[in-house]
Amino acid sequence: MPASAFALVLAAAVLHASWNLLLKTSNDRLVAAAVQSAAGALLLAPALVADGYPVERWGSLAVSGALHLGYGLTLIAAYERGDLSVTYPVARGTAPLLVGLGAAVLLDDSPGVWGALGIVLIAGGVFLVARGRPRGIAWALACGGFIGGYSLVDGSAVRTEGGSLRYTAALLLTNTITLGAIALVRRGPRGLLVAARPMNRHLFGGAASAIAYLLVLTAARWAPLGTVAALRETSVVLGALAGWRLLGEPYGASRVLATSIIVIGASLLLA
C-alpha cells in the first residue's frame, strides 16, 4: 500500500471513530444520523453544483444507497442496545473479511500474503471483543454485512468510472433523503424539528463522516480494496478506548489483547 493511501485511511479512521462516538452519545440517534448525513451532503454539495449529478453511476448509487440505509438503521439499533466498545468493533470488524473475499473474487483485487494476514488478524482481534454474546451483538453483525456490501459497490464504482468526490457527494445526498424520510415518518414534522435543534455538534459529525468516506474512496483508487477496508477498521481501537475512558464501559484483558492484535494486523498492511 502506498504511504499516501495509508495516511489517508488512518486519518479517515480517526474521523470515523469521532462521529460514531457522537452518534452513540446522542439522545435521539435516528435524528442525529439524519443530521449528520445532511451536514455531510451540504459540505460536498459544491461538487454536484460544479460538475453535476453523476447520472452515469445511478445503478451503483441506488444499490449503495439501499445498503447504506440498512447500515445506518442497524448501527442505530446496535448502539441503542449495546456498548460502543463492543458494537462498534464488531460492526466494523466483520467488513474486512467480506470485502477482502469479495474484492478478490469479483474485482481480481488481491491484497498479497502480508495484507491477507493483516486482514485476518484485524478481523480475529475484533471478534475477540464479541466473546460472550454481549447485548447488541446481532445488530452489530448485521451492520457489518451492510458495510461489506457497500464497500464493494462503492470501491468498484470509483475505480471503473473514476472520481470519488462527485460519487461521495451524490451518495450522501441519497442517504440524507432516505434517513430524513424515515426520521420524518417516525418522529413527525414537529418532533423532528424539536429533536434536531440541540444537535449542532452533529454538524461536525456529519463533516467528519463525509470527509472520512471520501478519504477511503480516494485511497481505494491507489491500493487493494480489501487492504484499505481492513486498515480503516483500526478506528475500532479508538472506539473501544473512547467507550472505556469517556463512557465508562468495561475494557478488560480480552479487549486489550484484541486491540494488540488489531494493531499488529494494521502494521502488516505496510509489508
Q: 213 or 38, which is more confident?
A: 38
At residue 197, the pLDDT reads 79
Is it the case that residue 222 has pLDDT exceeding 70? yes
At residue 162, the pLDDT reads 59
- Amino acid, res. 41: A
Residues 6+ apart with CB under 8 A from 190: none
What does the pLDDT look like over 197-216, one tens digit per residue? Answer: 777 888 889 999 889 888 88
CA angle 171, 177, 181 (to 5 degrees): 150
Distance CA 149, CA 143 (A): 10
Please report, for residues 7, 158, 171, 222, the alpha-carbon distance to residue 68 in angstroms, rounded to integers and kept in the order given: 25, 16, 9, 23
Is it the case that residue 51 has pLDDT exceeding 90? no
What does the pLDDT look like over 93-127, one tens digit per residue? Answer: 777 777 767 767 776 677 778 878 887 887 888 77
Contact 129, 258 (CB under 8 A): yes
At residue 271, the pLDDT reads 55
